Amino acid sequence: MRWINKDKLLSSLHAPPSFLLLLYKVVRNLAYAVWNLALALWYGSWWYLTAGVYHALLGAIRTSAAASQRRGGDGLRVMTAAGILLPCLAVVEAGTVVLSIHERIADIRSLIPLIVSAAFTFYKLIYAIITLARRRRDRSASDATLRYAALADASMAMLTLERTMVASLDADGASSQFYVTMTGSLGMAVFLVIAASGVRILLLRRQYAQKTETKEPL
C-alpha cells in the first residue's frame, strides 16, 4: 500500500497518544495527593488533609501547564495562577506548621506510612532535581511553571516526611524538643521556598508577557 508512510507509522507506534500521555501525567501528579487524603481519612489527620489539598492543587497546576505546552499555548494564564497560588499555599503551610508545634500534634506512629511517604518524597526530590537541570535551558512559560511547581511540590513532601519520621521513630514524638526544632526550622525553609517560587513565577510571567508583546506584529 503505497499511500502509507512507513516512517510516520513507526513513529506513531513508538510515541504514546497525547491523551494517554496526559492521563499518565495526571495520575503521576495526583498520586501523592490521593495518598495524603487517604491518610487523612484513615487517621483523622488535619495535617494530611492539608497536604493532600496542597499537592492536589499543585498537581492541577502542573497538569494544566503540561497541557498548555502540548497545545502550543503561551502558558501565561497558568503562570499567573501558579504565581498567585504558591504564596497563598505558603501561608497555609506556615500556619499548619505553627499549629502543629503549638498543639504538639503528630498524627501517625506507624512504619507503613513512613515507608510509602519516603518513597514518594525521594521520587519527588529526584524528579525536581532532574526537572531543574533538564529544563534550565528551556525558555517557555510552561517549562518555568513546571520547574518551580516541582520544587514546591518536593519541598512540602519533604516536610511531611519529616513529621512522619519524628512521629514514627522518636519515642517522645511531638512532645520532644527535637520535633519542635526540626519541624519549625524545616517548615520555615519550606515556606520560603514555596513563597519565593511563586514570586519568581510572577516575575518570569512579566518577562514572558513582554516578549510576547514584542513579537506581535504592529
Pair 117, 31: CB distance under 8 Å: no
Q: Would you report the helix, strand and coil content of the chain in percent, each value rounded to 5?
A: 85, 0, 15
Q: What is the pTM of this model?
A: 0.77
What DSSP element (H or E) covers 49? helix 46-71
DSSP letter assigned to residue 100: H
Closest listed residue to residue 144, CA positions, set 62, 33, 72 = 62
Neighbours of 179 (CB within 10 A): 21
Per-residue model confidence (pLDDT) at position 108: 60
- Tell me how far CA of residue 164 lies from CA of 4, 31, 73, 135, in angstroms: 57, 18, 40, 31
What is the full per-residue pLDDT of the chain (218 aa) written as tens digits?
444 444 443 444 444 455 666 677 778 778 888 988 988 888 777 888 888 899 899 888 888 888 887 777 778 888 999 999 999 999 988 988 887 777 655 566 567 777 888 888 888 888 888 877 765 555 678 888 888 888 998 998 888 888 777 766 665 555 677 777 888 899 999 999 999 999 999 998 888 888 776 665 44
Q: What is the largest CA-CA distance in the chain?
A: 76
Domain 6-215 has CATH 1.20.1510: yes
- Written as nine digits, the cell of 12 is 506513531
In whole angstroms, give the CA distance from residue 95 to residue 162.
17
